[in-house]
């Protein structure tokens, strides 16, 4: 078996650190999880963390990137696995019920944003990620509209921003009260589609 290069070893270490941090941040919380705990749980020294990430916040951003990609992929799979618009909305409803308000995910996003609120450079990074997430959702919406021959009553970007904003607010509320239904965001999507069908 070929020996790993230094670059490959560094990439593997980084990947393991991000994966471990993700598990700890989601399970225990961002603020209470130290870099020492991340390093020890991953089987590395604290120096290994600092050789990959200058600060805990940099590691936090890497974790958020992974979480966003995972959630975006799971949403796409939940929706695109179906042929009709009604089935796709039902798929979205199931995804929303399972994901919106997930305590670990919601707490991570809120804790990270509030703990870095006085750091303009981190806030800029978060804003950039928000734009990326909105663009990914807008792309998914536009693909749906194109496949179904639907003319959206607003830009896909505006629709994505509205859904994302409602989803974030609903997620925070469901993290506090898991019994709160996701019907508000699902009904909004259904009304949007129904208004297009009628027109």
Residuewise pLDDT in 10s, the chain (199 residues):
567 787 888 889 999 999 999 999 999 999 999 999 999 999 999 898 999 999 999 999 999 999 999 999 999 999 988 888 889 999 999 999 999 999 999 999 999 999 999 999 999 999 999 999 999 999 988 988 888 788 888 899 998 999 999 999 999 999 999 999 999 899 888 887 776 655 5
Note the pLDDT of residue 118.
95
Instruction: Find tokens 């009904």 and name the residue.
Output: 187
CB 17 within 8 A of CB 49: yes
Query: Of 11, 44, 40, which Cα lies nearest the Cα of 24?
Result: 40
Three-class DSSP category at 32: coil
Between the alpha carbon of residue 78 and those of residues 66, 94, 178, the distances in Å are 18, 8, 21
Rg of the chain over CA atoms, in angstroms? Answer: 19
Q: How far is CA 51 from CA 11, 13, 14, 33, 65, in A?
A: 11, 10, 9, 19, 19
Three-class secondary structure assignment of 160-174: HHHHHHHHHHHHHHH
CB-based burial, 68-105: b 16+ in 10 Å, e otherwise: beebbeebbebbeeeeebeebbebbbebbeebbbbebb
What the block records as the tokens of 186 is 């699902």
CA distance 19 to 138: 28
């Amino acid at each position: 078996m070929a020996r790993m290069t230094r670059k490959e070893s560094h990439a593997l270490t980084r990947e393991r650190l991000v994966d471990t941090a993700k598990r700890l941040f989601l399970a225990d919380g961002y603020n209470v999880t130290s870099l020492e705990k991340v390093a020890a749980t991953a089987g590395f020294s604290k120096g290994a963390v600092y050789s990959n990430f200058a600060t805990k916040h940099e590691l936090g951003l890497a974790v958020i990137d992974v979480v966003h990609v995972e959630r975006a992929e799971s949403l796409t799979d939940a929706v695109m696995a179906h042929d009709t618009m009604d089935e796709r909305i039902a798929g979205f409803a199931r995804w929303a019920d399972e994901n919106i308000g997930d305590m670990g995910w919601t707490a991570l996003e809120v804790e990270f944003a509030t703990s870095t609120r006085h750091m303009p450079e981190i806030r800029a990074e978060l804003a950039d990620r928000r734009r990326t997430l909105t663009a990914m959702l807008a792309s998914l919406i536009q693909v749906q509209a194109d496949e179904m021959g639907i003319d959206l009553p607003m830009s896909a970007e505006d629709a994505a921003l509205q859904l994302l904003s409602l989803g974030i607010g609903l997620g925070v509320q469901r993290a506090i009260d898991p019994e709160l239904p996701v019907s508000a965001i699902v009904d909004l999507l259904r009304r949007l589609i129904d208004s297009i069908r009628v027109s």
